[in-house]
Structure formats: structure tokens, C-alpha cells
Chains A and B, each alone.
Chain A
Amino acid sequence: MIPRHRCVIFAALLAAACRAGAPRAELPLPPPAPAPGDTTCTIAAGRAVARDTITFAVTDPVDPGHAPLPRNDAERLVFGQLYESLIRVDCQGRALPGLAATWEQAAGDRWAFTLRDNARFWDGAPVTARDVLASFRSHDATLAADFTVTGDRTFTVPASAAPFQRLADQALAVTKPAPGGSWPIGTGRYWMTSGDPASPDMLVAQPMARAGYPVVKVATVPASAARDALDGEAGVLVTDDPAALEYARTLAGYADLPLEWNRTYVLLAPGRDKPVVGDLRLESLREAVRGDARPAEWSGPGRSWFTDLEPCGVSAGRDTLGAAGRRRRIVYKQSDRSAADLAARLVGLGALGRGAVAAGVPATAFESALRAGSDAAYVVELRRRVYDVCRAALELPPWISAATVAPLLDVRSHAVVRRGLTRMTLDWDGTLRLSPP
């Protein structure tokens, strides 16, 4: 049994770490080597006990088609074990080696990288600088255009105006297509198998190095069954369901660890200078959602990244459709309960006037509707922290330049971790990774 005071100390450390790691618009380049014994970004509930298998229980769907860029907490947890970027940025914003073991400034205002010696793809092929170039070509043509291969495992990239930490973006994780077209082949410590025939809903990830790493199983469960997962063999449950969290707090074998406020719900309304939510009492939004939420805030310098996209060349545009051509409804993704609650609350507050309605649509239809911008407003969940604002801006609808963006709520999930589980590290963007044994 882990002493209670150690859990309290751990939680206090984690909270301090998150406060200390408050995001900044541009992170200075830290020394590549972390301080030895620094555990500020380590998550551990009690003494780690060696295990053959760890089960991750998640309440969001995991879609291989999204890999390596996660779209929800479940995918962030899973993809974090499978894929690597050149570098990592820990919860305090420090750059750490990832696929690249070292880097240094080179002539011509460039960064020179050297890949890890033992870096290999899941299929056993060693990762070369050309593999990195090929991967970048499929993810970032601009970056790939100025990519210089200097050796089998060395290459240089220009030091642009974008922060160095952008290379930690999961979107730039080095992958290559899988022959079968399913999971892209990555370089992480785990590789995704074809699954467990006995449990079709269970994903099974095998460690690349057998020694010390447990097998990871990923079980996708509905929110209503999250408590059943805790009663079962779940090692880690990532959820924002208050009932499940409340139940977890009653279980001595689990520790409830709130993760970073890594998502922000915003209201996107086509057309500028339209105070869609200007006169509303947004402070009451907090109670509208069931999960852990707080009023949207940005404690770093400047404003939220999505409110100022002009440096990315997104200039103020014109609303060509006009309010009269739009349906008076607030559209949200049907599967997103918090978005549904927020849309309902906005309707209840009369955000679009009397007669406006909230409309939940399937995910695919939501993407289409958002792109078309033919509705009065959309409740959209955005990443709160991004390494590269301009890259993240590409995920916004094309009419964002002529839109009113109103931050609503910051939300976060909790990791309910079984005590004695293998330690994990927390990155700046909220990614959890199993630590080496």
C-alpha cells in the first residue's frame, strides 16, 4: 500500500509542474539534456511494479486514420506510445531528445540533427535521414523543401521564425505508410498489432524492445462503462466523466490525476464584428458541462493562438455569405457531450436570439458543415497548446479569417492510474508516455 502522504506529495508536484509549465507563445531553446533526476513531469502512483500487460481504458474512439496526429485524449495517449517526433517537449516546455538524439546550431542559421543510434521502424528498418525527409514531405512540404541530408543519420533544417519546439509536433512524427493501409509505421517504443482476436474492440500494442516493457492493451469503452473498467483490469483510465471520476476517488487502488487543460471550446461564428456572445453571462458556462471545465483563459503572453492568426498570413477577410443566408443554429459534433451542453446553454442564454436552435450532427457531417460555414455558429473543440500556430491554423475552417471567435471553456481529462503502475511522463501538449523501465 502506498502511503497517502506520498500521493499527496505527488499530486502537489504535478500541480506545481503544470503551473510552472504555463505555456508561452515562443519557447526559448532549452538545453537538450534534461536535468538528471528531474521528475517534475513524471506521473507515478506509488512504487512501480513490473507488469507484463497494461490496459489503457479510454472513452473516446481511436481512429488509425488520424495517426500520428491525435484528435482526442484517447488518440493522444495511444499515438504517444507509437510515434515519435524529432524532439519532445516536457510539461515544463523543455526540449528533450526524441527520435533525434542530439542537435546543434550549424552554419547558415540551421539546426543540425543526429538520429538516435537504435532508431528503427516497427518493421525493423533503421530510420535514416532520408526517411525523415520522406515523412516530412508528406506532412510539411515547406519544411521538407529546405531539408538537407548530410549523412545517413544526420541532416539539417533551417532555423525559421517558428519556435524550435514545433519539431515536437505530433504532426511531424516520422512515419511511413503501412502496406496494408492501416496504422502508419512509426518509430515509437510500441507497435500496433492486428489486435486480439478474442477481443475485437481491444487494441494490442507490443513493445519494440522486449526487455522491461509491458504489453499495452487499449480498451475503448463507453463513458457509462468507465466504472466497469476500473473494476476490471484497467491500468490507466483517461476520461472526463464525472461519475467515473467520482467512483475512482472511492477506490483505494487508483489515483485520480488531472491532466493539463489542453482543450478549449470556442464558438466560431462566420462574420466579424458580430457580438454573438458579447452580452451573455459566459461565467455560467462552467456549470453547463459535466466534465472538468473552467472559463477559457490564457495565462501566457499575448492571446490565445486562435485569436491572432495574422502572423500566419491569415488576414481579415470578408463575409461573403452574410447572416441572412445562414441557418440560425449552433452546430456541434453529436458525439461531443460537452459541445452539446455548451450549444444548449448558448441557446438557453439566447445567443442567437429567440428561435435559434442547437443542432448536433455526426462527425463527418460536422466537418463538412464547418468547412462550408453555412450555419450561424459552431461549437468547436481546439487544442489549447500548439507548437506551431500556423500549422494548427490549417485545421481551422477556411473562413476563419472572416469569423468571430469566442473562447468559451477550457476542459481537461483526468488520468485515473492504478497504483504501482509503470511511471509515465507528461509532455507539454498533454501527451502521456510510458517511461522506460
Chain B
Amino acid sequence: MTFRARLLLGFGAVVLVPLTVFGWRIRAVMTNRVTAEYQQRVAALVSVIRADLDRQSAGIALRLGALRDAIVQDNEFRRATVQGGDRSHLLDYAGDAMRLAGLALLQIQDETGRIVSSGHFRNEYDQSDPALPRLLAAAPAGTALVEARTAEAPFLALARVDSVRVRGRLFTLVGGMAVDSTFLARLTPDSELTVEVALPSDTSSAVDPATQVVSALDVPFVMAGDSARLLPARIVVSHSLASLAALRRGVALSFLVAVLVTGLIALLLASWLSTRISRPLTELAAKTADVDMDRLDVVFDSDRPDEIGALSRLLEAMTERLRAGAARLREAERRLAMGDLARQVNHDIKNGLIPMRNVFRHFAQAAGEGAHQLAAAFQDRQATVESSIAYLETLASNYARLYPQPARESCDVNAVVRETVKRVGETGQADLRLELGEALRPVRTDPLVLRRILENLIGNAVDSLAARAGNVTVSTGANGAAGVRITVADTGKGMTQAELNRAFDDFYTTKPGGTGLGLSIVRRLVLDANGTLRVETEPGAGSRFIVDLPGGGA
């Protein structure tokens, strides 16, 4: 991972993590506080409902008391119940009384539990339901929920019981108020609060604690039927958390936007900062890479007061020492090379002179034997002499090529490349390809030097193909603002690391008949032209020789 990437990640983490933690914390605090407030509202409503039920119960008791007094005073009721008078009056009595008293449920039973008049269900007369008043009387506070029957549908009511004696007969009065949707809606101040009655027979609970705040109030319920008994019912108050969920979504969205915006700003800031930090380092790395490629003329000049400035100055000092060391090394190499060369020249010249000395000894011997013998000896050994002379001439030429005197003039790289490739290509030994860059600036060097560089590199490339199918590509292009890059690539056999390590040594060759001086000369010529030479090679895949020449030819 690059320094820049690490810097970006670190910067992002430093900015986003605290922001995320902050947002999460805000949400948690907000949720807790709102939920607590909802719980307070629900608890308050439960208290209100409890008080309201007590008030309703007291109201029912009051109405039943008034009815009790009215029944005692009603002679027609007395006649109908005791003396068997107008039965229709009795049947309609509870209905009329219920409406006048403002009740929703009224049932009058005799002492046997037989319904003698029913206000909410006129035609259930003569039915027997003794359990209802008995259970209501046993209920805590005398009040309970009952499921009142009607012809159309049963309804839930909050009921109480009272009794009245008429001529010794006991009649029970069951009166109540409807606990219907209107009754429940009246208890809820807003739409988020819901009041529901959960009867014991309700097996499914519609309340989800995850989405609602719930509290409940226990109320006795008269379960009718063959096994009539009192069971606990619950008035469930719930507060929807929908608004809280919406609030949380809103906060989450706001924080998400904030995180994105902050992250974007942090990214831009980190990018700018990393660029400011990494650019000098990148430049130092590039210069160091040049140094690594024997470009010891690189200058690490910096007047920055920070660590990068100190590093630059340190590298400059190191490069300076490298330059001195390189100079000493070159001198040592030169001396070593000169020694080797001298020994080689001595050896080579001796190799050329020995046959000639032998020939002259032969001539001397023949001359002693007569002119005829001398002529015959000359005739006989002329080829040897010429061969030795040619050998020496060749040797001289080879040595002359070791250190040519380059000229410094403006040179069109593409023109030299074209000409060299054309000339080398005439041999037809390989498939030569040209990829020339356009609008190359001229370089300041000797065209002959450049041609020698190219001849050696192209020749080596062609030789590396070693009669196998392949090609050699010579390409040119700009290198920086003014420099030119020449690349000679082949698909030949490539070099091993060991071969590469010695490729530029004098007289090192892997080719039969090679002099071992080609790449050595190329390297020297390139350095003399203030250029650099790099090699990229892979055994079996080929090699790329990259020559970078500085500009300045205009």
C-alpha cells in the first residue's frame, strides 16, 4: 500500500470514525429520551383511564340508584311484576328507562335470574342468566366488563349491579355503559395513542413491543356461558413508535449526509496533503532511481527546512561521495582496462607479427639461397603476409572503435534510426520494425556515435534471435520535456541474471565469434552522450535496451 493510500485511509478513519460514533450516540440518547417520554404518556393515560373507569362506575351506580327509586314508585311496574299486569309495559320498561337514564345496558332480573325486561335487547325476556348479577356483585369495586348480547351483535360494556325489592320480591338491575370504539377513542388524545380491550378469549396479541410502548390496566371480565366466571381482562394502552422511527430515520439520514460530506472534504484534504507530502518523496525516489542507473549527475538540491530537505541534503552528500567513488572506480577500471588492453594489444600484435616474422625469416633464408628462391618464397608466403597485415588492420580498426572522438552537434534521432535500421535490414536476417515518435526534439550528440550505439544494439538483438522466429522493434519517443528515449526490443533468447551482470564487461560475449566489446562500447558511448542505458530482459522472452538521451540539440 502506498504512502498516499495509507495517508488517505488514516485521514478518513480519523474523521469518519468519531463522526459515526457521535451519530450513533446521538441516536441512542434521542431514542431513550423519546421512549421514556412515551412511557410517561402511556402511564399517565393509564391513570386517566383508571380514574375515568372509576368515574363511569360511579355514574352507573348513580343511575341505577335513581332507577331503583323510580321502580319502587312505579305502580305499573308493580302491577306487571307482582300482579301479572300489562306484560308489554314490563318488556318495554327497561328500554325506556335505559334511554332516559343514559345507559347503554340495562337488564332487570327477578330473584331466579330470569330476565323480566331488557333495555338493550328487548326480546331476550324470560331467558335465565343468574350468573351475571352474581359475578358483578363479586367483582372488585362492583364493576366489571361484560359482553352484552343484542339481536344484531354483542357489545362490550362496563357494568354494575343493583337491586330493588318490590312487594318482597327481589329484582336485580344490571346497568352499564358501552365500551366501544367511541368510548375508547374518547380516551386517546392523539392518533399515536391507542386504547384496546384485550379479553381473556383473545389469544392473539396485536401489540408489538418493538414498535409500541405498552402499558395495561387489569379489569375483571364476566365470562358468560355454561361455566360463567370472572376472568381478568386488560385495557391495553399503546403508543406507536412510528414517529420515533421516523425521527430516527431522519437523524440517520442527516448523519449519513454529514458523514458523506465530511468524508468528501476529508478525502480532498487528505489528497492535497498527501500530494504535498509525497511529491517531494516521489521526486527524491526518481532521482535516487537515476542514481541507481549511474546517473551520478543528479542534483539533490533543496532548501526546505523540514525532514525532506534534510533527506535531500543527505542524499546529495551521498551522491557526491558516489560521484567521487565512481570517478575513482572509473579511473581504476580505466587503468585496469588499459592494462588488459595493453596485454591484449601486446598479445594480438604478437599474434599478427609472429607469422610475419616467420615469413621474413623465411625470406631471409630464401634470399641467402638466391633470388629465385626468394621470389618463390615470396610467392609462397605472400598470402600469409597479407593475412597478417589484414589481421593487424582489423585489429587496429577494432581498437580504434574503443574510443572514438564524438562530435557535439544537433542530431535527428529518427533520421539516424531510420538510416541504421535500413542499412542493417538490408542483410535480411531478421524482421525489423520501426515505431518512431513524432515531433521529437533533436539531441545534441554525434550522429556517428548514435549510429554505433544503434548498430551494436540492433546487431545484438538480431543475433539474439539465433535463427528463431521473432522480430526486433526499434522505437523512439519523448522522454520528459526535452529528452528522447530509444528502445531496442527483441523477442530473442534474453539473458539470465548472471549474463546481465557481465553484459557490459569488456570482452564478455556469449556469441561465437563475438568480440565482447559491443555492449561495453555502447555503454561508454551512451554515458559520453550524457545519456542512460537500462536493460529489461527475461530469459526466453527477449530483452529491451532503453537509451535515454538528454535534449538540447536545438
Contact = CB atoms under 8 A, between A and B. Distances in A.
Contacts of B88: 242, 287, 290
A347 B87 contact: no
Contacts of A357: 151-153
Contact of A345 (B92, B123, B149, B152): B123
Task: Determine the main DSSP class of B at the interface with A.
Answer: loop
Interface string B143-168: 00000011111000000000000000
Contacts of B150: 344
B153 A348 contact: no
A287 B151 contact: no
B77 to A, nearest CB: 16
B443 interface: no
B146 to A, nearest CB: 16
A325 to B, nearest CB: 21
Nearest to B151: A344
A348 B152 contact: no
A161 to B, nearest CB: 43
Contacts of A347: 123, 151
Given A284-B126, A357-B151, A348 B121 contact: yes
Interface string A304-319: 0000000000000000
Interface in A340-376: 340-341, 343-345, 347-349, 357-360
A390 interface: no
Given A242-B88, A287-B87, A287-B88, A344 B122 contact: yes
A288 interface: yes
B123 A288 contact: yes
A280 to B, nearest CB: 11
A282 to B, nearest CB: 12
B446 interface: no
B124 interface: yes
Interface in B126-146: 126-127
Interface string A280-298: 0100100110100000000
Interface in A126-158: none
Nearest to B127: A348
A348 B87 contact: no
A341 B123 contact: yes
Contacts of B124: 348
A416 B123 CA distance: 28
B545 interface: no
Contact of A343 (B87, B125, B151, B153): B151
A261 to B, nearest CB: 19
B517 interface: no
Contacts of A281: 126
Nearest to A285: B123
From A287, A340, A348, name the one whose CB has the most chain B CB atoms within 10 angstroms.
A348
B491 to A, nearest CB: 89
A344 B125 CA distance: 11
B106 to A, nearest CB: 15
A251 B188 CA distance: 54
Contact of A344 (B87, B92, B123): B123
B223 interface: no
A287 B152 contact: no
B122 A341 contact: yes
A344 B153 contact: no
Given A242-B88, A287-B88, A290-B88, A359 B152 contact: yes
A343 B121 CA distance: 12
B95 to A, nearest CB: 11
B99 to A, nearest CB: 15
Contacts of A348: 121, 123-125, 127, 149, 151
Interface string A250-266: 00000000000000000
B94 interface: no
A380 to B, nearest CB: 17
A357 B123 CA distance: 13
B121 to A, nearest CB: 6
Interface in B8-24: none
B230 interface: no
Contacts of A341: 122-123
Contacts of A287: 87-88, 91, 125
Nearest to B124: A348
A381 B151 CA distance: 19
Contacts of B123: 288, 341, 344-345, 347-348
A266 to B, nearest CB: 18
A295 to B, nearest CB: 15
B359 to A, nearest CB: 137
Contacts of B92: 290
Contact of B152 (A242, A290, A349, A358): A358
Contacts of A288: 122-123
A50 B4 CA distance: 122
Given A358-B151, A358-B152, A344 B121 contact: yes
A327 to B, nearest CB: 13
Interface string A97-140: 00000000000000000000000000000000000000000000
Contacts of A343: 151
Nearest to A342: B123
A94 to B, nearest CB: 37
Interface string B108-131: 000000000000011111110000
Interface string B443-454: 000000000000
A32 to B, nearest CB: 45
Nearest to B91: A287
A14 to B, nearest CB: 24
A281 B87 CA distance: 17
A288 B126 CA distance: 11
Interface string B293-315: 00000000000000000000000
A347 B121 CA distance: 10
A85 to B, nearest CB: 38
Nearest to B121: A348
A391 B56 CA distance: 58
A334 to B, nearest CB: 11
Interface string A44-85: 000000000000000000000000000000000000000000
A340 B150 CA distance: 12
Nearest to B92: A290
A345 B122 CA distance: 8
Contacts of A349: 127
Interface in A229-281: 242, 281
A222 B409 CA distance: 129
A284 B150 CA distance: 18
From A288, A290, A340, A344, name the one whose CB has the most chain B CB atoms within 10 angstroms.
A344
Interface in B388-420: none
Contacts of B127: 348-349
Nearest to A360: B152
Contacts of A290: 88, 92
A290 B153 CA distance: 22
A287 B89 CA distance: 10
A358 B150 CA distance: 9
Nearest to B125: A287
Contacts of A345: 123
A39 B124 CA distance: 45
B53 to A, nearest CB: 28
Interface in B46-101: 87-88, 91-92
Interface of A: 242, 281, 284, 287-288, 290, 340-341, 343-345, 347-349, 357-360
Give 3 closest A-B pairs by Cβ, nearest first.
A344-B151, A345-B123, A348-B124
Interface of B: 87-88, 91-92, 121-127, 149-153
Given A242-B88, A284-B125, 5 more contacts: A288-B122, A290-B88, A341-B123, A344-B150, A349-B127
26 contacts: A284-B126, A287-B87, A287-B88, A287-B91, A287-B125, A288-B122, A288-B123, A290-B88, A290-B92, A341-B122, A343-B151, A344-B121, A344-B122, A344-B123, A344-B150, A345-B123, A347-B123, A348-B124, A348-B149, A348-B151, A357-B152, A357-B153, A358-B151, A358-B152, A359-B152, A360-B152
